[in-house]
């Protein structure tokens, strides 16, 4: 295939890969597209060409999959359209460097006729690139390959053992084996390898990694549906407070959860009788209520979730903040962006504790995480095994009517599967949902509607291997394999 045609093909493959993620959930597609990319790497004339193919694939994937960054910057952040488009493209181009690096390293192996090494190294490098994306420059692991397999793929069975990056590794290994199908001498081993991965994943899905503890509780997840461009408008603040109070009073659940920053003012500015009304209703239901609000303490602002009700008031403060959205990195250099281009409220928050404890409410030990935090599985497990239930409060109204909210819900599904815990999601405009420990959505409120999603939640105890060991097992395995390949090369 001609180089330019191959680049166009890689770009299309990356774009098509988005169909594997929510809201589509077509999990075989990313494996198939990645297999074609690996095949193109085999046929590339140089490591440099393979890198360009990886970069083109990445551009297709991220420009199609996270186009909603533009919506947050332009539609709600007030950035001029050309600057918002440029900023979104720069971010996507940076993310595309990761598959480019994998292509370069793998292309070197193919160029040096290290066929077996390339087949093994490509999936390990792909998973490692997903993992590096999760922490470099505070991390942005959106569209990690492993998420595309949750919850329906047999390969999702590896999530409780290895986490989402381990699932990336297994899915990329399946793609690598398929890409090597052109070698007739290896086809039996290829078929055996793919069947083994599918059967193993299916068997792992049958294992109950955690067990129920205590009686189920009734829950109510409140979706206020407050338009983002009106959320902080002082003129409708009272209307927002009244609406949330009415929604809370419409439910008799033991645990009621309101979205991230549901109250459109500092918690100290909320009328005392309003907070007392929330507490009184929760006490009448013999339970508790969680509400998102902003705290101001010691000259610092926090994105917090507070509890009111039968249990003593407790607070969780968000610790993993979104760069440029919730804090300004290198403020002396980038502060002008906020002064001249953006109008984002609460863009300079402080971090909460990195070692939070579960909130003891409604007879459960609740591990709260706020919005973007549930993208980082290694941080969610810090509250395990004590936590019996996971709660995510979020406000994805920043991204309009895009894929973002559904993609975010799929990430929450993965956290439930990794930890063997139910996940409750209360959001402003969607996706509000009740998710079981297998990552299946039990109930889901329609997007962009005012609703109270009711149901029951079961607490769980015990833990998955991932909750106990985190990413270490697959990382150690990966580096051990690389050491073995290096040793064979030296020999």
Weakest mean pLDDT among 18-32, 203-217, 224-238, 457-471? 224-238
Dihedral (CA of 17, 19, 20, 26) sign: negative
**In 127-251, which ranges are E strands?**
211-212, 217-223
For residue range 279-301, list pLDDT tens digits in order: 999 999 999 999 999 999 988 99
Give mean pLDDT, residues 440-453.
97
Give mean pLDDT, residues 215-226.
97
Q: Nearest CA to 180 among 128, 117, 101, 126?
A: 117
Question: Residue for token digits 């996971």?
Answer: 390
Q: Which residues pair with 366 in a beta bridge?
A: 359, 389
Looking at residue 323, its pLDDT comes to 79
Weakest mean pLDDT among 184-198, 260-274, 375-389, 427-441? 184-198
- Report whether pLDDT(75) > 80: yes
**CA angle in degrees (0–180, nearest 5) for 117-119-124:** 85
Q: Which residue has the higher pLDDT, 80 or 347?
A: 80
Q: Which residue has the higher pLDDT, 72 or 389?
A: 389
For residue range 26-43, list pLDDT tens digits in order: 999 999 999 999 999 988
- Report whether pLDDT(196) > 60: yes
Distance in angstroms (rounded) separating the CA atoms of residues 408 and 457: 20
Q: How confident is the model at residue 340 (pLDDT cuts 50, 70, 90)?
A: low
Task: Work out the percent of the chain whose per-residue pLDDT is above 90.
Answer: 78
Give mean pLDDT, residues 365-388.
96
Looking at residue 31, its pLDDT comes to 98
Separation of CA 2 from chain center: 37
Distance in angstroms (rounded) separating the CA atoms of residues 172 and 167: 8
Helices (H), 255-382: 272-284, 331-340, 377-380
Q: What are phi and psi of 305, to 5 degrees?
A: -125, 125
Return the active site residues: 260, 318, 371
Mean pLDDT of the chain: 92
Round to the nearest angstrom and report the end-to-end CA distance of the chain. Answer: 35
Q: How far is CA 11 from CA 36, 51, 63, 92, 325, in A?
A: 12, 13, 10, 13, 29
- Report whether pLDDT(226) > 90: yes
Cis peptide bond upstream of 221, omega within 30? no
Residues 6+ apart with CB under 8 A from 434: 219, 221, 422, 423, 424, 425, 441, 442, 443, 444, 453, 455, 457
């Amino acid at each position: 295939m001609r180089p330019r045609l191959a680049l166009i093909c890689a770009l299309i493959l990356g774009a098509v890969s988005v169909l594997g993620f929510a809201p589509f959930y077509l999990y075989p597609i990313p494996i198939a597209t990645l297999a074609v990319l690996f095949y193109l790497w085999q046929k590339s004339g140089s490591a440099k060409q393979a890198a360009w193919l990886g970069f083109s694939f990445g551009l297709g994937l991220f420009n199609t999959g996270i186009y909603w960054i533009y919506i947050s910057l332009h539609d709600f952040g007030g950035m001029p359209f050309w600057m918002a488009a440029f900023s979104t493209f720069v971010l996507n181009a940076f993310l595309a460097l990761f598959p480019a690096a994998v292509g370069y390293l793998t292309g070197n192996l193919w160029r040096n006729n290290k066929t077996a090494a390339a087949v093994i190294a490509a999936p390990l490098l792909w998973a490692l690139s997903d993992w590096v994306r999760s922490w470099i420059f505070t991390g942005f692991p959106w569209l990690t390959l492993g998420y595309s397999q949750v919850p329906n793929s047999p390969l999702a069975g590896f999530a409780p053992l290895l986490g989402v990056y381990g699932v990336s590794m297994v899915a990329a290994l399946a793609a690598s084996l398929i890409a090597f199908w052109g070698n007739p001498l290896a086809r039996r081993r290829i078929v055996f390898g793919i069947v083994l991965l599918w059967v193993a994943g299916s068997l792992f899905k049958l294992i109950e990694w955690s067990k129920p503890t205590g009686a189920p509780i009734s829950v109510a997840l409140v979706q206020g549906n407050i338009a983002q461009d009106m959320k902080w408008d002082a003129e409708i603040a009272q209307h927002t407070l009244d609406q949330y109070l009415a929604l809370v009073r419409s439910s008799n659940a033991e645990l009621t959860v309101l979205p991230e920053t549901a109250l459109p003012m500092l918690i100290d500015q909320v009328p005392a009788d309003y907070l007392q009304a929330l507490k009184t209703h929760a006490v009448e239901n013999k339970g508790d209520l969680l509400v998102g609000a902003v705290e101001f303490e010691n000259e610092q602002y926090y994105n917090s979730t507070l509890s009111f009700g039968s249990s003593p008031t407790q607070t969780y403060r968000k610790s993993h903040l979104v760069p440029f959205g919730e804090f300004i990195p290198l403020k002396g250099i980038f502060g002008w962006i906020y002064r001249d281009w953006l109008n984002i409220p609460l863009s300079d928050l402080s971090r909460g504790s990195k070692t939070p404890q579960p909130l003891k409410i409604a007879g459960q030990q609740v591990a709260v995480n706020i919005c973007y935090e549930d993208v980082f599985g290694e941080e969610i497990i810090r509250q395990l095994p004590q936590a019996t239930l996971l709660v995510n409060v979020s406000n994805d109204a920043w991204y309009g009517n895009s894929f973002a909210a559904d993609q975010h819900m799929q990430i929450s599904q993965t956290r439930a599967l990794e930890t063997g815990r139910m996940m409750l999601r209360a959001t402003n405009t969607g996706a509000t949902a009740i998710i079981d420990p297998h990552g299946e959505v039990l109930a889901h409120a329609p997007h962009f509607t005012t609703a109270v999603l009711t149901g029951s939640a079961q607490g769980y105890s015990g833990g998955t291997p991932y909750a106990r060991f985190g990413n270490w097992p697959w990382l150690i395995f990966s580096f051990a394999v690389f050491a073995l390949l290096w040793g064979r090369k030296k020999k």
